Amino acid sequence: MSSNEDLIGRSNVNDIEAILSVANTDVEAVVHAVRSAPDTLFTWDYDRTKPALVKLYEKAKTSQWNVETDIDWSIDVDQEKVVLANVAQAQENGGGFFSGSVDLSGTDFAKWTDKEWIQLGIESQNWTLSQFMHGEQGALICTAQIVQTVPWIDAKYYASTQVMDEARHVEVFAKYLDTKLSGHYPINAHLQMLLDDIITDARWDMTYLGMQIMVEGLALAAFGFMHQMTTEPLLKRILRYVMSDEARHVAFGVLSLQDFYAELSSAEIRERQEFAFEAAVRMRDRFLQQEVWERMGVDVKQAVQLVMRDDTRQLFQSALFSKIVPNCKKLGLLDAADGWLRQRFTELGVIGFEDWADTGEEYIALDEVAKDREAAVAG
Ligand SMILES: [Fe+2]
Ligand SMILES: [Fe+2]
């Protein structure tokens, strides 16, 4: 049985000092090397035995899109105006970056004027889109690895389309950051740790669990919220298309792992539960956006404490798990091995999502690329 110490490097999940002690110390590096040596599997069985994956693969072939020609890059983005619109919306709801319930008196923030709050909005946006871009590269690399390691031909076919999707996602976020926003951030250390752990695990299903179920499950929820909230038409369009792809990717994880996990021993399932828990904690840690607080020149620990004390922000952050928890349930990970993962997700405050829609079929409804094409033909 692994302890918290073994799994996440600290005994208390909310230990702020320990969370902040993990930082990216190599921000100038251009390459990051990870040693991984999973078995590469050829298969000589070319029979199409996984109908759900066949269907997904066909969908992926027809719903490809092109960053250069399907996105209207002539749309101008005034980042300060976008931030001001967000601030106005938050104020209407009784708060700003923090909700009205948080007392800022005596903190660094008490001295802030509009100028600093706007700058925070700009930095937060640059940071958020940068982390998405890095995460997309993680997905690109993980999925290329799945092509290599998964034993079924239907999964190799499908994964190859996802590799193309992820290249497109890295491309689209990089282009948006470079041409419409105002600066990149290096990868957050918690996100890097998670990606490294996923890539170095030699078991092919762990790549799926870490990437397709956890990282992409969270990304799908995050893109959904951002798509709902943003008033910026270019980003809205980009997210709409990226989500069409991501819904397929999460479905790929659910559809591939479902039968496989049904055959595993309880000791093997427990290892998967522990990996899911570790991934959940890393992603929660990364959302504290410690690099933004540093750049804004405020006391990082104080800022993170305020974020953790802000009920509205906590509610929002737990909602990022609204796809992950039902998918883990569908895979049988919540209640196996005496409900170990159920207990951990309860402690993290995310168990309430267990009966939300899982993502095995949702990709059909979310295919906005197909909808636009049908509308164009009909039009
Ligand atoms: Fe992606
Ligand atoms: Fe993806």
Distance 70 CA to ligand 2 centre (A): 18
**d(C-alpha 341, C-alpha 214), whole Å:** 13
Q: Is residue 314 very low, low, confident or very high in pLDDT (cuts 50, 70, 90)?
A: confident
With contact defined as beta carbons under 8 Å apart, do 79 and 119 qualify?
no
Q: In whole angstroms, what is the distance from residue 153 CA to residue 313 CA? A: 43
Ligand nearest to the CA of 135: 1
* Across 268-280, average pLDDT: 96
Q: How far apart are CA 341 and CA 194, in angstroms?
A: 18
Nearest bound ligand to the CA of residue 136: 1
Distance 299 CA to ligand 1 centre (A): 33
Asked if the model's pLDDT at residue 94 lies above 80, the reply is no
Quote the CA–CA distance of 341 and 265 in Å, as a whole number: 16
Range of weakest confidence among 81-90, 271-280, 284-293: 81-90
pLDDT of residue 220: 94
Q: Is the pTM of this model over 0.85?
A: yes
- Which pLDDT does position 357 carry in this prediction? 85
Our CA dihedral for 366, 346, 211, 43, rounded to 10 degrees, sits at -100
pLDDT number for residue 316: 85
Q: How far is the CA of 88 from the centre of ligand 1 (A)?
A: 30
Cα three-residue angle 33-203-280, rounded to 5 degrees = 75
Ligand nearest to the CA of 170: 1
Name the pLDDT band for 267 (thresholds 50, 70, 90). Answer: very high
Q: At what angle do helices 114-149 and 79-92 cross, to 10 degrees?
A: 100
- At residue 238's C-alpha, the angle toward residues 190 and 199, to 5°, is 30
pLDDT at 87: 81
pLDDT of residue 165: 98
Domains in the chain: ranges and CATH? 113-378 (1.20.1260)
Q: How confident is the prediction for the chain on average, in pLDDT?
A: 94
Taking only the tens place, the pLDDT of each residue in 96-133 is 888 888 899 999 999 999 999 999 999 999 999 999 99
pLDDT at site 312: 84
Contact status, residue 18 vs residue 9, Cβ threshold 8 Å: yes
Q: Name residues whose C-beta falls within 8 Å of residue 50's C-beta, 6 or more positions apart in sequence.
A: 152, 154, 155, 255
Confidence band (pLDDT; 50, 70, 90) for 361? confident
Q: Residue 143 CA: which ligand is closest?
A: 2
Mean per-residue pLDDT, 281-306: 95
What's the rounded mean pLDDT across residues 262-277? 95
Percent of the chain predicted with pLDDT > 90: 81
> Rounded distance, CA 158 to CA 161, Å?
5
Give the number of the ligand closest to the Cα of residue 249: 2
In tens, the pLDDT along 53-75 reads 999 999 999 999 999 999 999 99
| Residue 149 Cα to ligand 1 middle (Å) | 20
Ligand found nearest the CA of 242: 1
> With contact defined as beta carbons under 8 Å apart, do 267 and 95 qualify?
no
pLDDT at 56: 97
- Helix residue ranges, H only, the chain: 4-8, 16-20, 51-62, 79-92, 114-149, 153-180, 189-200, 204-208, 216-229, 233-262, 266-286, 290-296, 300-309, 311-319, 324-330, 336-347, 368-378
Q: Which long-range contacts (CB under 8 A, 24 or more apart) does 214-217 make?
A: 214/276, 214/279, 214/280, 214/283, 214/324, 215/135, 215/138, 215/139, 215/279, 215/283, 216/139, 216/246, 216/249, 216/250, 216/253, 217/250, 217/253, 217/321, 217/323, 217/324, 217/327, 217/359
Q: How far is the CA of 190 from the centre of ligand 1 (A)?
A: 19
The pLDDT value recorded for residue 30 is: 92
**For the CA of 168, the nearest ligand:** 1
Instruction: Give residue 162 CA to ligand 2 midpoint distance, Å.
Output: 7
- For residue 46, name the pLDDT band (cuts at 50, 70, 90): very high
Structure tokens, 266: 């309880």
Task: Show the tokens assigned to 97.
Answer: 């970056």
Rounded Cα gap, residues 79 and 178, in angstroms = 13
313 has pLDDT over 90 = no
| Residue 375 identity | A
Predicted local distance difference test score (pLDDT) of residue 172: 98
Between CA 222 and CA 203 the distance in angstroms is 28
Residue 4 has pLDDT above 80, yes or no: yes
**Above pLDDT 70, what percent of the chain?**
100
- pLDDT reading at 362 higher than 90: no
Ligand 1 centroid from CA 338, angstroms:
34
pLDDT digit string (tens) for 141-192?
999 999 999 999 999 999 999 999 999 999 999 999 999 999 999 999 999 9
